[in-house]
Structure 1
């Protein structure tokens, strides 16, 4: 079966319907602002309160009313129920899954419950969102996972986070193949560190070795990162890596089978 080619990006249309998980803050909220300003109908999903986000988005000039739903991505049954409810009124053209958590600590300092919780939210949560929303997506629609450079390159203190994000990248790779025949595009976003509330909080306690390794990919301002993410989504790229330094790290790691980046990582950790 041949794959339908979209005549233009769904996200570029003024009437595009955009679902964003983790939309109350950080990358998700900044993406919501970009799409609302473009005239898109945005629906937010978050376990946090979305009241402030909806108020700010609704105040933007020409904004279409913004919907919001409480969503715990770690609860598969609840995720299905919430997406069924949202899609009953308006099914999505683009789904951007941003919800996730981060934790930076040496492997032997992460307890069973903390490790399991992170995997449940980041990896299984991605699975639950995809399983719940795909029945409501038609040919020409687009499913986007926000993973991390930590899903492409290992980092000290990220044993749980890297495991979850490598899994998200793998999930996206498989869904890209499986959904091609249905005309549904899949993308995975792997940003380096981005200035968000999540990162600000993480910096308070993460190991110095983690801090050093972050230098390899760099840190991006939120608006700059989101502008590049939006461009990649509009162009329907599969792998979206915002930031020249991050793309260089990925390319070097791919070109030299990890040899150079592993040596550099070892050097930075031992400093």
Structure 2
């Protein structure tokens, strides 16, 4: 089977698809023949991603707020009308503002959990009938983080949310196993995305270090002394979505150069 036909006819819906990891995933799955619904809140970046995909293989689903049940239902209806039931939902939408725990007030805590954890719940629950309908071959893929497997200072809410995503993924893997649906999480380390750009800005503002020094400090967490690329994360997602990963279920796949070794 050619690489371009690996996911032929499969419908993937990717949240937070307007840039960074989401864009790379859309390009990887689209390049493998999938029909891709690129979902997010703002249309302009989604249009830019859709333009990189094969003609007729991309649908822009804007106004897709993972914290809003009505927006999710409307977006899924549009996606289904274009490409049929979703067989590969990829929960990628997220945010990771930095703050000490002392400065993480209830509003900030609630906002991060609403997007990074409850958003995964919302989209997955809405797409569940599609997954069950597709059965064998359907793939639920959640983008978690190494923060879902270990701890980092100044992102307590993000760590809590991503630990929740990994736990939710494992629970769903067991519940859905007999249906043929698999559920897995991909856990990137520090990745070259706009989230990292914002983290660098925060470090510069708080410490007075240069942007290059701040970026180098983040790269030090990776034993390979580099930041992960979005394309490396997308390659892991592509593998999990492929027929070769039929027996991979309930796993947290770490993409971090050896920073975290999941046992």
* Superposition TM-score, scaled by structure 1 size: 0.79
- Are 2:261 and 1:250 equivalent residues in the alignment? yes
Q: C-alpha distance in 1, partners of 2:8/2:231?
A: 21
Shift of 1:166: 0.4
Shift of 1:233: 3.7
Q: C-alpha distance in 2, partners of 1:214/1:111?
A: 29
In structure 2, the residue corresponding to 1:219 is in which secondary structure? coil
C-alpha deviations, 1:55-106, integer Å up to 9, x for none?
A: 453355x433411112111112332332234224411121111001112221
Shift of 1:221: 2.1
C-alpha deviations, 1:20-66, integer Å up to 9, x for none?
A: 111111111111112222222110110122x3433453355x43341
Equivalent residues in 2 for 1:30-49 (5 A)?
30-49=24-43
* Superposition TM-score, scaled by structure 2 size: 0.81
Verify the 8 A CA contact 2:188 2:256 in the aligned structure 1: yes
Quote the residue 1:74 is aligned against: 67
Shift of 1:115: 1.4
Verify the 8 A CA contact 1:152 1:250 in the aligned structure 2: no
Equivalent residues in 2 for 1:111-126 (5 A)?
111-126=105-120
Q: C-alpha distance in 2, partners of 1:102/1:215?
A: 19
5+ residue gaps in structure 1? 1-8, 255-271
Q: Which runs of 4+ in 1 moved over 6 A?
A: none
Quote the residue 1:257 is aligned against: none
- Are 2:135 and 1:139 equivalent residues in the alignment? yes
> Using a 3 Å threshold, how does the CA distance of structure 1 residues 86 and 233 change in structure 2: closer, same or farther?
closer
> Using a 3 Å threshold, how does the CA distance of structure 1 residues 203 and 20 change in structure 2: closer, same or farther?
same
Shift of 1:224: 2.9
Quote the residue 2:21 is aligned against: 27
What RMSD over aligned residues (CA atoms) do the two structures have, in Å? 2.4
Moved more, 89-98 or 126-135: 89-98
Count of residues in correspondence between the two structures: 238
